[in-house]
Structure 1
């Protein structure tokens, strides 16, 4: 669970999210306990964890565990040692994949073939050195059958110079050319203010645990932090396909 969410729980902040009622008395008891901790909270889901008496709670895109009476909260990774499966990460992958699949590709800046072998979402910062290195190899990624979909994540936050540069790119007459110019350290031409998704994409990244750039997010919700070279990325993706034919 991120520091922001932990702060909400400890400080009694207000969070409003959709909740899928499961109609189970024990689930409702956990929900009531959560309401006492943070009045007004509406989690995305609550379900029994593999540990008896402990429940998985999804709130603000993060996963944590709570006892039915609300007395004990577990923050961290839940691992099934029998199968060597990180259950928390597997749940987060589902959450990330769902969040990404709900996005409109027209709000992204996309480089690559329409019928790509694989699609990779990249949270990027115009001023990030490794992001610029990644973009230098964009043609190589595309030649290997990878579609790169850029999402804005100005690390310095909304209102920063990096944020303003991202807005310039997304609002440019030719966003693709603007992205290439900006990541080469050149000024973006033909810029104008417009309605843009930069702030929303930045907030989405934060809710999904993104805290550095570039962060690569695969279609199944797997996160690859940092720069991954084209052939290495293809190898990772092909290994996933082989493991889950």
Structure 2
């Protein structure tokens, strides 16, 4: 089986095969670990086009570099201009160096991507530090998630808080989601364990749907906490229109940070815990 392309780098090699040639047994037997498979993108006429007929496997050196605290200031104007020329949709401030020399890290379409220095290759996937057993990309995602949520602040959420706060989580919720309702029926159990729950809206059906309108009605109620509890219990909330609500902002932010379903629990450090988690189990995870 011969590769159709090989992209060499001092720290790794990306080897590309056609899907037909890539033997699934090779992957099952872990000759090439699943976690280092990446999809490589090519840039043509300033449009990102997925190479749907190939798979590229990242063969990483035995030890990846540790995750230094790279910032946008570490990227020179010359380096930045090359990347922005090829990817004008990038936000200037999100371009940083990655843990692997020669690759740059950037936020593109709400996701962390890696780009070669010449802008030709765009890589989707996670970088793992095999020495420290750490997902470096997820560490960066956590920082980005928390920074995004911090910009909303408590005033833009519906907060159920205990007398003594030991832990804080932000929960993306859909009023009509069954497991979201189950979580909320146990809100006192979370609060009794010292867990503060901050709600943000993520109506899975999208804008201009019944779930979306219910979220807006809850936000416009005089007592939002009571209205949310009643709505999750199946009651109709008949509040007056109060003008713009944060529902659209919550929904867009959820997509931006990778929310795909509800409930989605975000820890204070930016970690993502998908789905319903009972209060005692959540406390256990938060205290690990």
- Normalising by the residue count of structure 1, what TM-score does the alignment of the two structures yield? 0.84
> Which residue of 3, 11, 28 corresponds with 2:78?
28
> Which residue of 133, 137, 149 corresponds with 1:100?
149
Partners of 2:183 and 2:287 lie apart in 1 by 20
Greater share of residues in strand: 2
CA RMSD of aligned residues (A): 2.2
Is 1:183 equivalent to 2:221 in the alignment? Answer: no
What is residue 10 of structure 1 aligned with on the other side? 48
Unaligned 5+ residue runs, structure 1? 12-19, 240-245
Partners of 1:140 and 1:9 lie apart in 2 by 50
> Which residue of 193, 202, 208 corresponds with 2:241?
193
Greater share of residues in helix: 1
Partners of 2:202 and 2:246 lie apart in 1 by 11
Aligned residues: 223
Does the CA-based 8 Å contact 1:43-1:60 persist in structure 2?
Answer: no
CA offsets 1:41-94 (integer angstroms, 9 cap, x no match): 433322222222111113454211011001111101111111111010000001
- State the 1:24 CA deviation: 4.2
- State the 1:100 CA deviation: 1.5
Is 1:137 equivalent to 2:186 in the alignment? Answer: yes
Unaligned 5+ residue runs, structure 2? 1-37, 50-70
What is residue 89 of structure 1 aligned with on the other side? 138
Does the CA-based 8 Å contact 1:169-1:179 persist in structure 2?
Answer: yes
Q: Which has the higher contact order (CA 8 A, sep 6+)?
A: 1
Partners of 2:137 and 2:268 lie apart in 1 by 18
3-state secondary structure, aligned to 1:163: helix
> Which residue of 106, 109, 117 corresponds with 2:158?
109
3-state secondary structure, aligned to 1:102: helix
CA offsets 1:5-41 (integer angstroms, 9 cap, x no match): x9x9627xxxxxxxx852644x632x23333333354
Does the CA-based 8 Å contact 2:74-2:97 persist in structure 1?
Answer: no
What is residue 8 of structure 2 aligned with on the other side? none
In structure 2, relative to structure 1, the CA distance for the partners of 1:9 and 1:133 (3 Å cut) is farther
Does the CA-based 8 Å contact 1:124-1:214 persist in structure 2?
Answer: yes
Q: Which has the larger radius of gyration?
A: 2
